[in-house]
Amino acid sequence: MSEQEGSPAASLASRLVPVVLVAVALAAFPFAGSKFGIDLLTRIMILAIFALSLELLVGQTGLVCFGHAAFLGIAAYVTALLTPQSAPAPLLLLLPAAVLAAGAYALVVGALSLRTRGIYFIMVTLAFAQMAYYVFHDTPLGRGSDGIYLYFRPVLSLGGWQPFDLDSGHTFYYFVLASLAFTFGLLALLVRSRFGHALAGIRVNEQRMRAAGFRTYAYKLAAFVVAAMLAGLAGFLYALKDGFVNPELLSWHQSGAVLVMIILGGLGSLRGAVLGAFALAMLQELFQSSTVFGEFARHWQLTLGFTIIACVALMPNGLVGIGRQIGRRVFQLRWRHA
């Protein structure tokens, strides 16, 4: 994480205020927004959780993983498979099961993949994600490319009392918002903790960390598993949202998309991950809109492809980087006129 200029208090305020504002705006939205808007924002928030989980791996630890969608997909499938056909499942069983399944796969895959570095690591993580894709696509476990439907969202039952009903669109929205807040808060704590600082050190110079006495393999594996479990949380919510899972959730298009999100938003920043998820989702909506692009909206992937190339080439620090530049200019202007 880069160092900010100015006093620590002002710097903390300038970072906290936008986050709080966004949280308040998100909480207020359902009162004014359309059903379409609520639906879209729910999806974006789930993607934001997914992006945040990858940010821990890529931005903080420096491990470029191109198979992160596997964890999203595995958790989603476990959610669907463990939901009975005729009645809702208990939330306290389903959520941990999904998250732990993702974590378990990460433990095995990570233990093997982290024996490699650099380019090999990228290729190996992609390969293992593809393996999971094939398991769900070809074997009877996943019921093939048609996917599985979920007919009931889970219920939270505390000794007979049900505090909320996830079947309501609004309630589910707030459940997702709470999950996003939890993920953001957890990662914010983690990043400033000893563990987080050690991960940052590994990113900058792993050899130096080993020379100081850190067992870097263990740290990287831990980060890998934590990131996978948070991606699993996103996968659980994804399955619940549409009531449908299919193997494309594990495809490398999904893995590629989440990487694009964190680069777009700005690597090395939690806010960047959330911003990037929002920006990519909006871009996709824009490019697919026939009102703007007419017939060409069919070929939105072409427009998206060129946009990604342009963004990576021209905005190396992402949207957050541009935000900082603007902020700096404004600050300089005000100082000069003071």
**Does 185 sit near another protein (CB under 8 A)?**
no
Does position 16 bind another protein by CB under 8 A? no
Residue 224 three-state SS: helix
Q: In this chain, which stretch among 77-85, 153-161, 166-174, 254-262 interacts with another protein, using CB under 8 A?
A: 254-262
To another protein, the closest distance from the beta carbon of 95 in angstroms equals 20
247: tokens are 């193997």
215 binds another protein (CB under 8 A): yes
Among 22, 64, 81, 156, binds another protein (CB under 8 A): 64
Is residue 290 a contact point for another protein (CB under 8 A)?
no
Task: Please say whether the dihedral angle defined by the alpha carbons of residues 188, 37, 238 and 176, taken in this order, is positive or negative.
Answer: positive
Tell me the two tokens of residue 191. Answer: 């990043």
Residue 168 makes contact with another protein by CB under 8 A = no
For residue 118, give both structure tokens.
Answer: 């650099």
Q: How far apart are CA 217 and CA 221, in angstroms?
A: 6
Which of 16, 312, 326, 330 forms a contact with another protein (CB under 8 A)? Answer: 312
Between CA 50 and CA 54 the distance in angstroms is 7
Beta bridge partners of 155: 90
Smallest gap from Cβ 261 to another protein, in A, equals 11
Reduced to 3 states (helix: H, G, I; strand: E, B; else coil), residue 244 is strand
Of 158, 175, 178, give the one whose Cα is nearest residue 167. Answer: 175
142 and 247 Cβ atoms separated by less than 8 Å:
yes
**Interface with another protein, residue 319, by CB under 8 A:** no
Site string for another protein, 89-128 (x = CB under 8 A): -----------------------xx-xx-xxx-xxx-xxx
Decide if residue 216 touches another protein (CB under 8 A): yes
Measuring CA to CA, which residue among 41, 21, 37 is closest to residue 176? Answer: 41
- Residues near another protein, by CB under 8 A: 2-3, 58, 64, 66, 112-113, 115-116, 118-120, 122-124, 126-128, 130-131, 134-135, 137-140, 186, 189-190, 192-198, 200-201, 204-205, 207-216, 219, 222, 252, 256, 259-260, 263, 267, 299, 301-302, 304-309, 312-313, 316
